[in-house]
């Protein structure tokens, strides 16, 4: 069987890698970034995402929307990218694959909200809200030409997923099946159950590769160009035919990834034969030179339409979630490092906003109409942890106004300055992008709060 031949070659590669020693941190990062780019692009493209490879690279590297595609496609790519980053921690911490983990990954991948295509009682197409991290509530199916293939019934999802997880854990303990066979069989059953309203294909490939990564193998990235071949073999297995064609395919994909990993360990270039063409494509499809240069009005418009609404929404969200843990708090607003009084945060846990006239008057007062303004910032601090009044929590978010674009960054005493978004003038921050930024900041603060409470608990036990 071809898949067993691939496995023998993979074993040889593993043995050679074991003799070559550890990779440097920089080399590991280079390898992972390349894998991540290909995985993000190809897995999403297979599900209809319209971003090109160059647009994907520019988005994930620089946070720039280089094309003019449907906004959800950019959001899908960023969310998928973050899930792939989470996989490294899952593997490192040796966390088991559970239903809770799967639902959590799905929630991260789908974001705060999304829509799915459905039908009303009369059979008319409608859009309905999806449920991130929740199993489907309505039946799903796929049309195969004139035939309709129906996935697992709604009432069967929970027991079948429970059975699938139990099978996986049992097989991992036995250690009798090769990881590729284990991952392939799991993938087949998962996509046959189709437990979620949407995102099952991407989630199935993520879980398949998580199994491989947990067992020391490289993720098997299925290329967009191989979609028909992959689906054809998957359908054969779903319809009760042989599993071997799908096994052969997954094993070949994993072998290609392992060959690529070996190049990194040998110190060889990680460029592929067609990379020169892709570099030219990046130049051709990449963002054109900006036509909107910084001036007073553009700085003002970017601040008034994008930055200030983001700051206000962020304050509301952080107050709602973190204020109950603290006695006091405050926010400080800056324009070019000079404190301005746009609102007060007396923290009677209401984040009282004392607006100083209309927003446009405030902008005039702060000098934002001056094109020399280079930054605006918001510093939020929660003071006196309920468990220990000496502890506090804080975060700073800033917008920097450059020659042709504005950039949003965050920093705190615990994290280095990190860029979250880069936008050209006249390009507004969308509601989805606001939600992503707030989620990133909220997650960072939540981890810091957990660390403070854990440290306090440890001190109490001493």
Tens-place pLDDT, residues 138-174: 888 787 766 778 899 999 999 999 999 999 999 999 9
* Catalytic residue check, 106: no
Catalytically annotated residue among 73, 194, 333, 379 = 194
Quick: pLDDT tens for 94-113.
999 999 999 999 999 998 77
Alpha-carbon distance of 80 to 59, in angstroms, equals 12
Alpha-carbon distance of 355 to 343, in angstroms, equals 6
Does 40 count as an annotated binding residue?
Answer: no
Q: What local confidence, expressed as pLDDT, does residue 343 receive?
A: 43
Tokens representing 439 are 């989620």
Q: How wide is the angle at C-alpha 48 spanned by C-alphas 253 and 112, nearest 5°? A: 105
Q: What local confidence, expressed as pLDDT, does residue 360 receive?
A: 41
Residue 407 host element (H or E)? strand 405-411
Looking at the chain, the whole-number percentage of residues with pLDDT higher than 70 is: 82
Of residues 339 and 206, which shows the higher confidence score? 206
The arithmetic mean of pLDDT across residues 274-301, rounded, is 65
**Cα pseudo-dihedral 197, 203, 204, 209, rounded to 10:** -170
- Within the chain, how many helices (H) and strands (E) appear? 15, 10
Does 120 count as an annotated binding residue?
Answer: no
State pTM to two decimals: 0.61
Specify whether the CB–CB gap between 220 and 253 falls below 8 A: yes
Does 202 count as an annotated binding residue?
Answer: yes
Alpha-carbon distance of 451 to 77, in angstroms, equals 30
Residue 66 backbone dihedrals phi, psi, to 5 degrees: -80, -20
Q: Which contacts of 349-354 are long-range, i.e. CB under 8 A and separated by 24 or more positions?
A: 349/319, 349/323, 349/324, 350/319, 351/315, 351/316, 351/319, 351/323, 353/312
Does 205 count as an annotated binding residue?
Answer: yes
Buried b / exposed e over 230-240, threshold 16 CB at 10 Å, is bbebbeebbee
All structural domains of the chain with their residue ranges:
2-281, 296-461
Q: What local confidence, expressed as pLDDT, does residue 362 receive?
A: 45
| 6-10, 128-132, 232-236, 360-364: least confident range | 360-364
Does 372 count as an annotated binding residue?
Answer: no
Does 442 count as an annotated binding residue?
Answer: no
Quick: pLDDT tens for 214-251.
999 999 999 999 999 999 999 999 988 899 999 999 99
Specify whether the CB–CB gap between 386 and 326 falls below 8 A: yes
Taking the domain 2-281, which CATH number applies?
1.10.3290.10
Residue 178 backbone dihedrals phi, psi, to 5 degrees: -65, 145
Crossing angle for the helix pair 244-266 and 227-238, to the nearest 10 degrees: 140
Tokens representing 300 are 């003002």
Tokens representing 435 are 């939600």
């Amino acid at each position: 069987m071809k898949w067993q031949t691939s496995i023998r070659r993979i074993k040889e590669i593993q043995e050679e890698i074991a003799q070559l020693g550890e990779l440097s941190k920089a080399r590991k990062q280079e390898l992972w970034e390349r894998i991540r780019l290909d995985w993000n692009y190809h897995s999403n493209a297979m599900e209809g995402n319209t971003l090109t490879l160059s647009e994907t690279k520019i988005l994930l590297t620089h946070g720039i929307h280089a094309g003019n595609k449907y906004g959800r496609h950019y959001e899908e790519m960023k969310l998928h990218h973050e899930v792939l980053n989470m996989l490294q921690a899952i593997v490192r911490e040796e966390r088991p694959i559970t239903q809770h983990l799967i639902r959590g990954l799905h929630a991260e991948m789908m974001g705060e909200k999304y829509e799915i295509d459905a039908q009303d009682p009369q059979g008319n197409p409608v859009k309905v809200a999806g449920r991130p991290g929740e199993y489907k509530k309505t039946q799903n199916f796929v049309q195969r030409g004139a035939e309709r293939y129906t996935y697992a019934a709604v009432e069967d999802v929970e027991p079948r997923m429970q059975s699938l997880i139990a099978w996986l854990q049992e097989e991992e303990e036995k250690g009798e099946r090769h990881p590729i066979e284990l991952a392939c069989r799991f993938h087949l059953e998962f996509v046959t159950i189709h437990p979620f309203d949407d995102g099952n294909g991407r989630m199935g490939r993520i879980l398949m590769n998580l199994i491989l990564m947990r067992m020391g193998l490289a993720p098997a990235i299925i290329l967009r160009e191989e979609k028909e071949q992959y689906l054809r073999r998957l359908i054969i297995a779903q319809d009760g035919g042989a599993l071997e064609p799908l096994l052969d395919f997954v094993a070949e994909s994993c072998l290609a990834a392992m060959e690529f990993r070996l190049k990194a360990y040998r110190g060889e270039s990680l460029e592929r034969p067609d990379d020169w063409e892709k570099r030219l494509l990046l130049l051709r499809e990449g963002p054109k030179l900006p036509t909107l240069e910084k001036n007073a009005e553009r700085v003002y418009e970017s601040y008034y339409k994008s930055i200030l609404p983001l700051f206000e929404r962020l304050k509301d969200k952080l107050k709602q979630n973190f204020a109950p843990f603290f006695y006091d708090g405050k926010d400080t607003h800056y324009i070019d490092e000079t404190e301005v009084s746009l609102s007060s945060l007396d923290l009677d846990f209401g984040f009282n906003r004392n607006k100083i006239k209309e927003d446009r008057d405030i902008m005039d007062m702060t000098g934002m109409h001056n094109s020399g303004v280079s930054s605006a910032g918001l510093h939020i601090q929660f003071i006196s942890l309920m468990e220990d009044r000496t502890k506090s929590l804080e975060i700073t978010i800033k917008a920097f106004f450059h020659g042709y674009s504005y950039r949003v960054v965050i920093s705190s005493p615990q994290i280095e300055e990190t860029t979250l978004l880069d936008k050209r003038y006249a390009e507004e921050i969308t509601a989805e992008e606001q939600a992503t930024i707030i989620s990133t900041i909220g997650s960072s603060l939540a981890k810091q709060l957990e660390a403070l409470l854990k440290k306090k608990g440890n001190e109490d036990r001493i």
